[in-house]
Structure 1
Amino acid sequence: MLRRLLIAWIGNVAALFVAAGLLDGIDYGDSWWALLLAALVFSVVNWLVRPVVTVLSLPVIILTLGIALFFVNLLMLYITSWLVPDFTIAGFGSAVGATIIVWAVNAVLSATVFRRIKDED
């Protein structure tokens, strides 16, 4: 479980770094510590809060054929920005873009790097 959280954290560091680099509205104050903390908080929020929110919103997720999961992920980013003072999201458009970028980076990492790590176990 700890290893899985560590892998998620590393992936989220990369994803948030890419999102902040590509979007003007995502900022971590040019502090690596803020980026590392934001990625850690985002990983823990996804691990603890996301399952609860997903279960509570299950009827909406089913009615929208899974599209509501995008907004669950968006909420996890907003919770992270609320908990980490140096990690800011300037607006809804930036949050939408960041959610897409975080998903894409984690999808690429899961399909390549993290799959190799999992296969080695």
Structure 2
Amino acid sequence: MIDFLVRLLINAAALMVSVALVPRIRFDFGDEWWRLLVVAAIFGLINTFIRPIVSLLSLPINLFALGLVGMLVNTAMLLLLAFVSGWLALGFQIAGWPPGQLDVDVVIYAALAALVISLVATALGLVRRLVPGV
């Protein structure tokens, strides 16, 4: 249970850092801080159940593309998070999407945010390993 809570907090922190650093990534949760935890939990579920399947299916292409497909998979997972968040009215948006059209700007900002989230989550995961008992 502690492991789940720590992962949830790491996801929440990584999402908030991406909101702070990447332009046009918005998360309007207002005074309802629980929305951040719900979005972080959904992000964790997407990364736990959907991402491995997509990564496995894209493995042959990923070998030829020298790992760039992994970045596309991360971007797609973040777009899926934005879609689910929009569907549940949780307030997480990428360049005004959803609603609206999925265009090149949305994908570019999603890719930048996915990169930031990956870096922050990796750094926090390393710190977590260094701290005993967490």
**TM-score computed with the length of structure 1 as normaliser:** 0.87
Q: In the alignment, what sits opposite 1:106?
A: 121
RMSD between aligned residues: 1.7
Task: Provide the aligned length of Structure 1 versus Structure 2.
Answer: 118
The Cα shift of 1:29 comes to 0.9
Please say if residues 42 and 81 of structure 2, whose CA atoms lie closer than 8 Å, have aligned partners that are also in contact: yes
CA shift digits 1:57-92 (9 cap, x unpaired) = 111111112121111111110110010121101122
2:98 is matched with none
State the 1:108 CA deviation: 1.0
- Compared with structure 1, are the counterparts of its residues 64 and 24 closer, same or farther at alpha carbon in structure 2 (3 Å cutoff)? same
Q: Which residue of 2 aligns with 1:95?
A: 110
As a proportion of its length, which structure holds more helix? 1
Q: What residue in structure 2 maps to residue 16 of structure 1?
A: 15
Structure 1 position 115 matched with structure 2 position 114: no
The answer on whether the counterparts of 1:28 and 1:34 sit within 8 Å (CA) in structure 2 is no
1:81 has 2:82 as partner: yes
Conserved? CA contact 1:34–1:84, under 8 Å? no
Q: Secondary structure at the residue paired with 1:84?
A: helix
| % identity of equivalent residues | 31
Q: Identify unmatched segments of 5+ residues in structure 2.
A: 96-105
TM-score by length of 2: 0.79
Alignment of 1:23-38 (within 5 A): 23-31=22-30, 32-38=33-39
| Distance of aligned partners of 1:30 and 1:50 in 2 relative to their CA distance in 1, 3 Å threshold | same
Deviations 1:18-49 (A, max 9, x none): 11111231111143333222111111000000
